[in-house]
Chains A and B, each alone.
Chain A
């Protein structure tokens, strides 16, 4: 039996996208309102309450934060949303034969697409408020986002499979992700740290893509070596995720 994989994937993706707003009143409008209100709160807390400043003349801290926070959320939301990609579809997996990775891929892709839309809205607002964004850096931004996406797919497969066997993975993952958040240069600028600390920080593979996105938008030099290493690691993690899923293919439905 050869299912029309592309149609299946598209249908699953449509479901994931639709599911977010099924029965909600504002629907997709939420994706305009949520990032904006988030940006508003963040800029008020950090710029007014905490008096946070960046090293750049004409860049508000809120703008600096936004450029790192949305890419990070794109990754972390995708992973945490995918924890239940297999367990939540137990009814489908137990009744029809379909490649399991499609379920995870659809979950990740839906989450990433929605967050990309949010990021676009935020960028638009930053531009309107006069933030000097360099759009010549856009290819680097897209490349870095792609690295984050591949990371997300890999980790999503791994946590989704583990969650089948141990249902506490969901809780553990959200803890781990928030820990990782502070170890990634999102709320602070890694270039202001000592060289020693920077080296340690760059053991974290998410540091390079996040820094690259921010630097590309600000017209700063890109650390291609570290971005390349991160890309290789992302591909490795994605391979690991698919390998795990393939290995578990034989027995997954027995544990759901």
Chain B
């Protein structure tokens, strides 16, 4: 690696991909006509829309997104299997692609024959292949199956062979699409170790996976594709957490903000501010730090209102709820009929993700509920742990 600014291995600019709609034979005919005239097909569905990003040497980027978001199409466009409808994909150097199971293997031919074609496609001539063949056989470790037609292979063996070719070629850019999960435990370990080693020794990785664990472990950056567009792009933890939060809120319904007409409530909520800021945007706090909310409440007859405050995850799973009445706490009176509560959650132990804070006003006895205000809270952090909250623990 030279010291001067390296050129990006992949440059994707304004990339669009549209698939033609082929419902009947008339569609096919008009598609042929469109192609001969060099026009874009008249009937199409858009799979990817205005995608822009760069892959610098040594980067590791994870691509996340729900099914049908266009992840595989994007990878195929980068490898050159598909051609963009508009926009541009520039690549430098060889790309090792492990896209689908048995990428390009012909079922009738033996493993060895398939390796020969794959290697040629990676630019490995016959002389070089002679040296690499042993290496490939050794890595794949499928014994005499190497000379059997690949149709007799198990899906795991196909992945083994496919990965073994990649490992032997060691391309400057590796693109893989959720195929490693097929191999057995020991092979997965072998692959993970290889990829780890590959990334840390300067290899560039583009990984599509639904396993956030893998993405966070292997990648430093991430791209979240949503309906063919880049929803978010950046540091891996930030992106994956937003992506997971989005999944959670998709499962649960977005809580309906109750009507907020202050004058109508005997006990109302005037404002909810966190860590000193009082905007109506999402509240943001870091996992492990203190989180303080300040709630100004109103009371028509100047009796003391009770504050009820609860956390819920984005999918509406309740996390924790507490009221001033439970803790026997009284608010600070700032004016007639105006009270202020300050509530601090120390060393916030929630794991990163999207949560709701539900603030309710109640009467003095804490029996009747008057007004509710919901605020979205984004908890940020670097934790890769699972679940809702950090449980204090120690090893050994």
Residues of chain A touching chain B, judged by Cβ–Cβ distance below 8 Å, are 1-4, 7-8, 10-12, 14-15, 19, 22, 91-98, 162, 165-166, 247-251, 253-255
B80 close to A97 (CB less than 8 A): yes
Contact with A along B104-147 (1 / 0, CB 8 A): 10101100010011111111111000000000000000000000
Asked if A255 contacts B22 (CB within 8 A), the reply is yes
Residues of B near A97 (CB, < 8 A) are: 79-81, 121
- In the bound complex, residues from chain A placing their C-beta under 8 Å from that of B117 are 8, 11-12, 15
* Chain A positions within 8 Å of B121 at CB level: 3, 8, 96-98
Could you list some 5 contacts between A and B, CB below 8 A? A1-B94, A7-B125, A14-B113, A92-B106, A166-B29
B171 CB → nearest A CB, Å: 8
CB distance from B307 to the nearest CB of A (A): 60
Given A166-B29, A253-B82, A255-B31, residue A4 in contact with residue B20 (CB < 8 A): no
Does the CB pair A96–B82 fall under 8 Å? no
Instruction: Give Cα A4 to B20, complex, Å.
Output: 32
A227 to chain B, nearest CB (A): 32
Contact of B108 among A14, A22, A92, A93 (CB under 8 A): A22
Best-surrounded residue of B97, B121, B125 (most CB of chain A within 10 A): B121
Beta-carbon contact of B28 and A165 below 8 Å? yes
- Given A1-B80, A255-B28, the answer on whether A8 and B94 have CB atoms closer than 8 Å is no
Which B-chain residue is minimally distant from A250 (CB atoms)? B83
B4 to chain A, nearest CB (A): 24
Is B32 an interface position by the 8 A CB rule?
Answer: yes
Q: Is B38 an interface residue (CB 8 A)?
A: yes
Residues of A within 8 A of B335 (CB): none
Using C-beta atoms within 8 Å of the partner chain, give the interface range for chain B: 35 or more
Chain A residue with the shortest CB-CB distance to B126: A7
B79 — nearest CB in chain A belongs to which residue? Answer: A97
- Nearest CB of A to B170, in Å: 14
- For B19, what are the chain A residues with a Cβ–Cβ distance below 8 Å? 254
Please give, as numbers and ranges, the residues of chain A lying within 8 Å of B36 by CB-CB distance: 247
Question: Which B residues have a C-beta under 8 Å from some C-beta of A?
Answer: 19-20, 22, 25, 28-29, 31-32, 35-36, 38, 41, 79-83, 91, 93-95, 97, 99-100, 103-104, 106, 108-109, 113, 116-126
CB pair A251 B108 closer than 8 Å: no
Given contacts A248-B35, A253-B82, contact A3 B122 (CB under 8 A): yes
A251 touches B83 (CB 8 A): yes
Chain B positions within 8 Å of A93 at CB level: 81
State whether A95 touches B81 (Cβ < 8 A).
yes
Find out whether the CB atom of A166 lies under 8 angstroms from the CB atom of B32: yes
Residue pair A15, B103 in contact (C-beta under 8 Å):
no
Contact: B38 with A95, CB < 8 Å? no
* Chain A residues within 8 Å of B100, by CB: 95
Q: Contact partner of B28 among A8, A10, A166, A253, CB < 8 A?
A: A166
- A18 CB → nearest B CB, Å: 8
Chain A residues within 8 Å of B93, by CB: 1
Give the residue of A3, A250, A255 whose beta carbon is less than 8 angstroms from that of B123: A3
- A7-B126, A165-B29, A166-B25 given; A253·B120 CB < 8 A: no
Using Cβ atoms and an 8 Å threshold, which residues of chain A touch B123? Answer: 1-4
> A15 with B83: in contact, given A3-B123, A7-B125, A248-B35 (CB under 8 Å)?
no
Closest 9 CB pairs of A and B: A97-B80, A7-B120, A96-B104, A165-B32, A250-B83, A8-B120, A95-B104, A11-B117, A95-B103
The docked-state distance in angstroms from the alpha carbon of A98 to that of B116 is 14
**Pairwise interchain contact A249-B120, C-beta atoms closer than 8 A:** no
Please, how many angstroms separate the alpha-carbon atoms of A165 and B25 in the complex? 9
Cα separation A10 to B28 with both chains bound (whole Å): 33
Across the interface, which residues of B come within 8 angstroms of A2, CB to CB? 94, 123
Contact B35 A95, beta carbon cutoff 8 Å: no
* A253 and B84 alpha carbons, distance in the complex (Å): 11
Task: Choose from A3, A10, A249 the contact partner of B83 (Cβ within 8 Å).
Answer: A249
Closest to A251 in B: B35
Residues of A within 8 A of B25 (CB): 166
Nearest-neighbor residue (CB-CB) of B117 within chain A = A11
Q: Are B35 and A91 in contact (CB under 8 A)?
A: no
Question: Which residues of B have CB within 8 Å of A94?
Answer: 81
Q: In the complex, how many angstroms separate the beta carbon of B227 from the nearest chain A beta carbon?
A: 20
Whole-angstrom distance between the alpha carbons of A161 and B135 in the complex? 39
Cα distance A249–B121 in the bound complex, in angstroms: 18
Which listed residue (B20, B41, B79, B113) contacts A15, Cβ 8 A? B113
Bound Cα distance A248, B83 (Å): 11
Residues of B within 8 A of A92 (CB): 104, 106
- A23: shortest Cβ distance to chain B, in Å? 9
B20 touches A255 (CB 8 A): yes
Least Cβ–Cβ distance between A210 and chain B, in angstroms: 32
In the complex formed, the residue of B with least CB distance to A15 is: B109
Give the distance in Å from the alpha carbon of A7 to the alpha carbon of B83 in the complex: 24
**CA separation between A12 and B126, bound complex, in Å?**
14
